[in-house]
Structure 1
Amino acid sequence: MSDVVTAPEKLTAWQRWELPNFEAGALASTGGVALPTASQLEEIEKLARDEGYRNGYAEGMQKALQENQRLAALIDALSKQADEQVAQELLGLSLDIARQMLHQALKVNPELLLGVVREAIGTLPHFNQGAHLVLHPDDAALVRERMGEQLTHSGWKIFEDDRIERGGARIETANSQIDATLESRWDRVVAALGQDTKWLIQE
Structure 2
Amino acid sequence: MPNKILVVDGDSEIRNIAGTYLENEGFEVLKAENGEQALEIIYKNEFDLVLIETMMFGMMNWIETCMKIKQNKIMPIIFLSKKSEGLDKFQDMPSIADDYIGKPFSSKELIDVVKSKLHRYTMYSDIKNLAKNKIKVGNLTINSDIRQVFIGNDQVKLTPKEFDILELLAGNKGIIFSIEKIYERVWGDMLYKSDNTVMVHIRKIRKKIEKEPKNPIYIKTVWGVGYKI
TM above 0.5, yes or no, is no
Identify which of structures 1 and 2 has the higher relative contact order when contacts are C-alpha pairs closer than 8 Å and 6+ apart: 1
- Greater share of residues in helix: 1
- Bin of the TM-score, shorter chain as denominator length: under 0.3
TM-score normalised to the size of structure 1?
Answer: 0.25
TM-score normalised to the size of structure 2?
Answer: 0.23
